[in-house]
């Protein structure tokens, strides 16, 4: 039964509001998911299998894909340090792959942030792993659970703080039975985030994990897409992993979720200050340190353009029509997210954030 309830999650996760509304700088989009290879064939379109792959990045550091979501893991002789679990279905698959390939247990799961489309499913590893998150993560989970947020509020036509079947739209409609975990005919925020297990240990600022002679630094870059963001920095592998507040040649799905515009930019600079060659985001292609600089430049150029418009007394619609962000036309999601990022930047910067 649980397999039937879980299977739609992988293929539809990116259509759900968690990715499109409160998840500022969110990575996924319905368009991206629709473009996934499994949807390209008629047979797969009827019941698409999740697209999953494991790619070796450097040394014993690997990147894992589950449709539009990505995580990382580092293998050591004493066990594995894993990033986001993504979701229960993906985690179950990954656990099997890790056992088969490496025959060592997952000793740590490091949450990039609390958003359920990245953080769900850690229970799968909890028999052997310690779950680690930033100190703000437990509070962020609680805050999310308290009530519908983002565009889920707009779907809640009768305002009763849950989505009934005739209200749910998009991914929430498609996955209604999955999220209505108690089967009472309504989806609450607590049900949506129910599979996110709170961290068992938290840190403030930074923390170093050592296992089997290898090291991973956990770094909180400040508030950005959320208030509980963690970067995983792999010094020996010369790589860094960060999720949703940062991307590679890719427009963000939204702006901010717990910080100011300036804090977002300073978070990106905190990543740039690390010594690495490979940057591994939670969505989209991976790239180089120059790509991180390019993404930060996008954020700064957007801020400059929007602030000029505000100063000139332009409306947000005028800005959406005039700010074309031409140098970033080749970024992923330029066509679908350019206007919304301008709108969100306008709202933030007009408020002085």
What number of other Cβ atoms are within 10 A of residue 117's Cβ?
A: 27
Min separation Cβ 43 and Zn ion, Å: 32
Looking at beta carbons only, is 12 or 23 nearer to Zn ion?
23
The DSSP code for 103 is: -
Min separation Cβ 69 and Zn ion, Å: 10
Looking at beta carbons only, is 202 or 224 nearer to Zn ion?
224
Q: Which residue is nearest to Zn ion (CB)?
A: 115
Min separation Cβ 324 and Zn ion, Å: 27
* DSSP-assigned beta bridge partners for residue 326: none
Residue-wise DSSP of 265-298? HHHHHHHHTS--SEEEESSS--EEHHHHHHHHHH
Looking at beta carbons only, is 78 or 151 nearer to Zn ion?
151
Residues making contact with Zn ion (CB under 5 A): 23, 115, 244
Query: What is the rounded CA–CA span in Å between residue 265 and residue 174?
Result: 35
Min separation Cβ 128 and Zn ion, Å: 26
What number of other Cβ atoms are within 10 A of residue 324's Cβ?
A: 13
Is residue 299 a contact partner of residue 268, using CB atoms and an 8 Å limit? yes
Query: What is the rounded CA–CA span in Å between residue 351 and residue 349?
Result: 5
Min separation Cβ 149 and Zn ion, Å: 12
Tallying the residues shown for the chain, one arrives at 353
Looking at beta carbons only, is 252 or 309 nearer to Zn ion?
252
Looking at beta carbons only, is 95 or 115 nearer to Zn ion?
115
Min separation Cβ 113 and Zn ion, Å: 5
What number of other Cβ atoms are within 10 A of residue 89's Cβ?
A: 23
Cβ neighbors of 352 (< 8 A, separation 6 or more) are none
Query: What is the rounded CA–CA span in Å between residue 255 and residue 246?
Result: 10
Looking at beta carbons only, is 71 or 76 nearer to Zn ion?
71
């Amino acid at each position: 039964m649980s397999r039937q309830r879980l299977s739609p999650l992988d293929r539809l996760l990116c259509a759900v509001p968690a990715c499109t509304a409160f998840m500022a700088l969110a990575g996924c989009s319905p368009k991206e998911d629709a473009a996934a290879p499994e949807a390209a064939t008629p047979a797969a379109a009827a019941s698409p299998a999740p697209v999953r792959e494991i790619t070796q990045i450097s040394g014993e550091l690997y990147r894992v894909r589950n449709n539009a979501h990505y995580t990382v893991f580092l293998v050591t002789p004493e066990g594995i340090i894993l990033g986001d679990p993504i979701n229960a279905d993906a985690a179950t698959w990954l656990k099997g792959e890790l056992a088969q390939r490496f025959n060592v247990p997952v000793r740590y799961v490091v949450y990039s942030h609390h958003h359920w489309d990245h953080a769900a499913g850690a229970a799968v590893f909890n028999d052997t792993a310690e779950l680690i998150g930033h100190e703000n993560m437990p509070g962020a989970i609680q805050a999310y659970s308290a009530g519908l947020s983002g565009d889920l509020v707009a779907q809640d036509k009768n305002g009763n703080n849950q989505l009934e079947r005739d209200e749910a739209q998009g991914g929430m409609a498609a996955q209604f039975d999955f999220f209505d975990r108690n089967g009472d005919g309504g989806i609450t925020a607590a049900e949506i985030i129910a599979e996110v297990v709170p961290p068992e240990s938290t840190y403030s600022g930074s923390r170093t994990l050592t296992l089997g002679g290898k090291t991973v630094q956990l770094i909180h870059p400040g508030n950005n897409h959320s208030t509980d963001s963690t970067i995983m920095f792999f010094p020996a592998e010369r790589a860094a992993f960060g999720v949703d507040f940062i991307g590679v040649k890719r427009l963000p799905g939204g702006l901010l979720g717990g910080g100011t515009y300036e804090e977002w930019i300073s978070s990106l600079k905190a990543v740039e200050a690390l010594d690495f060659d490979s940057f591994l985001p939670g969505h989209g292609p991976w790239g180089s340190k120059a790509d991180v600089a390019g993404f930060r430049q996008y954020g700064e150029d957007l801020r400059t353009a929007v602030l000029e418009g505000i100063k000139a007394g332009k409306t947000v619609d005028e800005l959406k029509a005039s700010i074309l962000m031409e140098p970033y036309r080749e970024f992923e999601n330029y066509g679908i997210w350019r206007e919304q990022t301008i709108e969100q930047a306008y709202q933030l910067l007009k408020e002085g954030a």
